[in-house]
A and B are shown apart, each in its own frame.
Chain A
Amino acid sequence: MFTIFVVGAVATLPGLGDIRSLADFWTVLDTKVFTGVAPEGFEKLGFWHIMFFAWFCNLAMHVDLSDMAVFRYAKSWRYGLYSAFGMFPGHFMAWLASGIMVAAIGLKMSPGQMAVNAAGLAGAVAVVVAGWTTANPTMYRSGLALQTVTPNWPRWAVTLTAGVVTTILSCFPFFFMRLLDFVAIYGLILMPVGAAVFAEFWLIPRLGIRQYRAEQRGWFMSYALLGSWAITLAACYFMPIHLFYRWLPGYFIALGLYLGLAFVEDRLRPAVVAAAAGGVS
């Protein structure tokens, strides 16, 4: 996949202008590729927007911890570092390369046309395979999540249903043309949960708060989690900064809120009688 991006960009560059030096290369990038003019209907994004979005667009998987659905099978903690492959070569390098390839087809927002022009049939296969491999772990995660709602369904049926629904939805321009905002919003919605899981596992034992209170005391719901999630999202909604920047301050708000609310909940909320009778704390 990385090879196709690099190769496609290198091969299509001469079509954009005569490049004999680094200065020529820079001029072509400035005048033909990254022109600073946003396509109609889209806002102009600068360096920091792109950098933060490179972080943000996989936020749901990394900081929000939904990758744990897959990483629970990891044989070593080092497997978590593989996320960096998606982050750096997968975003920064691939986005730079795809910028060049899109310029080669006259800045048309057509991934299929771009790939076929730059790399022929192999490019088209790469687009399909890229979509498939990106979706695979997410399909699995959504199957796991939905199975909590439909516990009587086998996992393959839940995953298949989720896959069919999302495949149909993804055919509509509302979703695929606004992917940036869509990805940013779902990353943001999950972010307080990732912060709560991090706090629950790493911070709460060090602060003298009992871990896993909801499970231990038989609560249906953790109000600390619900409260920190809702307040964090409300705070993010009103932040006077671009959507792509909101998750970072939001993450620390969620951490602080969850720790504070968990402390209060631990002290004030008793166990459910049935659970307490069952011998838990």
Chain B
Amino acid sequence: MNGRVTIINVASVLAILSLLAGLGAAIATFTGAISFDSYKLIFNLASLAWFLTSPLWFVPQLFGERWKEAGKGAWLRPKS
């Protein structure tokens, strides 16, 4: 159970980081710090990370009853 809670916690943190990475890449290309092509690469990798991690964060029940139970003990999940 604890291992699953940890995985959900890590997934939620990675999901938030992936959102921030995407936003950061856009701002960086707006300010001229990185090229448009670099922005696209970073944004697409961040999107991939988001789609891989956010289901564990938002809908752990998709992966079975044990994950659903583990979701109740995770940090950034609704408690009710």
A residues with CB within 8 A of B? 3-4, 6-8, 10-11, 13-15, 19, 119-122, 125
Report 6 cross-chain contacts, Cβ distance below 8 Å, ordered by A residue: A3-B19, A7-B26, A11-B30, A14-B29, A14-B30, A119-B40
Instruction: Tell me, in angstroms, the Cα distance from A277 to B71 when the chains sit together.
Output: 55
Residues of B close to A13: CB separation below 8 A: 30
Say yes or no: is B3 at the interface (Cβ < 8 Å to chain A). Answer: no
Instruction: Tell me, in angstroms, the Cα distance from A14 to B47 when the chains sit together.
Output: 22
- Whole-angstrom distance from the CB of B32 to the nearest CB of chain A? 7
Residues of A close to B25: CB separation below 8 A: 7, 11
Interface size on B, residues (CB 8 A): 17
Instruction: Find B26's partner among A11, A15, A19, A121 (CB 8 Å cutoff).
Output: A11
What are the nearest 6 A-B pairs in CB distance?
Answer: A122-B47, A7-B26, A10-B26, A11-B26, A120-B40, A120-B44
Interface residue SS majority, chain B = helix
Residue of A nearest to B23 (CB): A7
Given A3-B19, A3-B22, A15-B36, is A10 in contact with B44 using a C-beta cutoff of 8 Å?
A: no
Residues of A close to B22: CB separation below 8 A: 3-4, 7
Say yes or no: is B59 at the interface (Cβ < 8 Å to chain A). Answer: no
Say yes or no: is B76 at the interface (Cβ < 8 Å to chain A). Answer: no
Interface digits, B14-52 against A, CB 8 Å rule (1 contact, 0 not)? 000001001101110110100010011101100110000
Instruction: Find B36's partner among A6, A11, A125 (CB 8 Å cutoff).
Output: A11
Contact (Cβ within 8 A) A6 B43? no
Residues of A close to B36: CB separation below 8 A: 11, 14-15
Instruction: Tell me, in angstroms, the Cα distance from A115 to B25 when the chains sit together.
Output: 16
- Whole-angstrom distance from the CB of B46 to the nearest CB of chain A? 8
Instruction: Find B43's partner among A14, A15, A19, A119 (CB 8 Å cutoff).
Output: A119
Contact (Cβ within 8 A) A122 B27? no
Instruction: Tell me, in angstroms, the Cα distance from A121 to B48 when the chains sit together.
Output: 10
With A11-B40, A19-B30 given, name 6 new contacts (CB 8 A): A3-B19, A10-B23, A11-B30, A122-B44, A122-B48, A125-B47
Residues of B close to A119: CB separation below 8 A: 40, 43-44, 47
Instruction: Tell me, in angstroms, the Cα distance from A29 to B22 when the chains sit together.
Output: 23
Residues of A close to B40: CB separation below 8 A: 11, 119-120
Residues of B close to A4: CB separation below 8 A: 22, 47
Residues of B close to A10: CB separation below 8 A: 23, 26-27, 29-30
| Residue with the greatest number of chain A CB neighbours at <10 A, chosen from B22, B41, B43 | B43
